[in-house]
A and B are shown apart, each in its own frame.
Chain A
Amino acid sequence: MTTNYRKDLVSILEMLSNIERDLNLANYNETEKKIYYTIAMLISNNGSCNITDVILESRFSRSTVYKTIKKFERANLIIVEQSSNDKREFNLVLAT
């Protein structure tokens, strides 16, 4: 049985959760944040980054990485560019 005390504490958490939702900072889940950090880290270390690098480094499935990159692209967080060396490969650039 849920006690009144617990209900009151959960209400405080729900209030904080509502602030978070309205400020729109919780749009991305942990996996998406990790993929973004991986892209940023690879670009910082290697100067460039493609989708295969992100899959290998983050160890998430190809479909998860693709879906997340599409989401970032729609939000104008990253730009997907075709590689000049290999037309089958796409490089990721952080949008500024």
Chain B
Amino acid sequence: MHKFDLTHFIKVSITVYIFYMFLYGTWYFLHIQDFANLRLENEWAGSFVFLPHGARVLMVCFFRYYSLPALYLADITGPSIMNHEQYQVTYVDGSNIAALGCIAAVILSVELIKWSRVSEGKFSFFKPVNFKNYKFLFLVVVLSSLLSGVTCNSIISIINDQVSIDVLTVLRFMIGDFIGAVTVIALMWIVFTTAIDNRLILSPEK
């Protein structure tokens, strides 16, 4: 029987919440400020690089089920905390449930990887997968992006009769989640190599 570790849960929850909010804040700031001066008329252009999906994937993969409450809390409070006024105007019914769908997509992807015998032995929801091999992580990014785009938009569409979501929106969500997650991992890798080069941290291999 898996023993629940409260201290670990608290540490993980704080880390997950801060990491997600940092990524959401960065994404939202870049999205609104239009730093590249693209003057895009479509305000949804930022969703092509949805950085917070990187937090979802990394946190579920490395902190497993301990990360879920904080991840959901960050997912539903992020938009409200970052820009409350706009959030009230653009809020769509079912967004909070759709956030659950996005997290479920990541969980499903991780379980699919387990089921495909990446982790040896009998299948178990509580058995961790070794994501030190980044190729499995990349597989989770791909699967979760595809599933997240479908589940999130389906939930919003089912809950709101007046909202109709076209295929291109679903595709945009898929691409955005994928590019966002890959960008986060790439940025973390750049920070990691810089820290190793400057001896701020020791390489785990040493």
Contact = CB atoms under 8 A, between A and B. Distances in A.
A19 B132 CA distance: 9
B203 interface: yes
B72 to A, nearest CB: 19
Interface string A41-58: 000000000000000000
Interface residues of A, number: 22
B76 to A, nearest CB: 24
A8 interface: yes
Main secondary structure on chain B at its contact with chain A? helix
Interface in B140-167: none
A30 B189 contact: no
A95 interface: no
Contacts, number: 61
Contacts of A89: none
Given A10-B204, A12-B62, A15-B137, A20 B193 contact: yes
B150 to A, nearest CB: 27
Given A11-B132, A18-B132, A5 B8 contact: yes
Contacts of B15: 5
A15 B134 contact: yes
B197 A30 contact: yes
A39 B203 CA distance: 26
B192 A11 contact: no
Given A18-B134, A19-B134, A25 B62 contact: no
29 contacts: A3-B11, A5-B7, A5-B8, A8-B12, A8-B62, A8-B63, A10-B204, A11-B62, A11-B130, A11-B131, A11-B132, A12-B58, A13-B204, A14-B132, A14-B204, A15-B131, A15-B134, A16-B134, A16-B192, A16-B193, A17-B192, A17-B204, A18-B132, A18-B133, A19-B189, A20-B192, A30-B197, A30-B199, A33-B197
Given A13-B204, A18-B132, 5 more contacts: A3-B7, A5-B11, A12-B188, A14-B204, A21-B205
